Structure 1
Amino acid sequence: MFLSALELRNIIESSFLPKRCQCELSPELKMTVKVYADGQTDNIDFLRTDIDARHLNSCREIHELIAGLRTDLAHHHVETEHRHVVGKAL
């Protein structure tokens, strides 16, 4: 890793603003990213665990991680909305 854990966490957490995001990094450099539903509650909207942070050695790799997490978050929202619509139709 070319950044400190604090710098990496700050970059990732701020990339999800205005949503609240919490990034945790273990001593083994395994990362967990939580994106919360809103700023008022602790309801987790999206969770990704076991991200290998040892491979985040360039701006491009960090950008690709963030882009992938945002894509996964968007797909999660689509799936959740679909489940709610299907549930109401039944």
Structure 2
Amino acid sequence: MIPIVELSRIMASGFAPLSCDCSVNPQGFLTIRIFEPESGRVELLLTGVSPQGLDSIRAISNLIGELRTELKAGRRGFAAFG
């Protein structure tokens, strides 16, 4: 996996003007939070995302595309294991 700082930077650039935070839990899974920076309103929250396969810019770009689709569909959050 790309280091979490770099992953967060890439993810954030893919959702502007929204903000994006990425963190890793003790089990090694990602939590991704996409939110409106002024109000803090969470637009999409994912927990339990496997970092496996997020080892290239292309893979992260594909994930960003999938999450944009979720945002357009109006989904607010879900857990994505594996």
Fold match (TM-score > 0.5)? yes
1:43 matched residue in structure 2: 41
Q: Is this contact kept in 2: 1:29–1:54, CA < 8 A?
A: no
Select the structure of larger CA radius of gyration: 1
Equivalents in 1 of 2:12, 2:25: separation in Å?
Answer: 16
- Greater relative contact order, per chain length (Cα 8 Å cut-off, separation 6+): 2
- Higher fraction of strand: 2
Q: Tell me the C-alpha RMSD between the 2 structures.
A: 1.7
Q: Deviations over 1:20-75 (max 9, x none)?
A: 22111224331111111x32222212111111112212222111111101111111
For 2:68, give the aligned amino acid: R
Q: Is this contact kept in 2: 1:19–1:35, CA < 8 A?
A: yes
Instruction: Structure 1 unaligned segments of length 5 or more: list them.
Output: 78-90
Matched residues, number = 75
Equivalents in 1 of 2:20, 2:55: separation in Å?
Answer: 22
TM-score, normalization by structure 1 = 0.71
Instruction: Structure 2 unaligned segments of length 5 or more: list them.
Output: 76-82
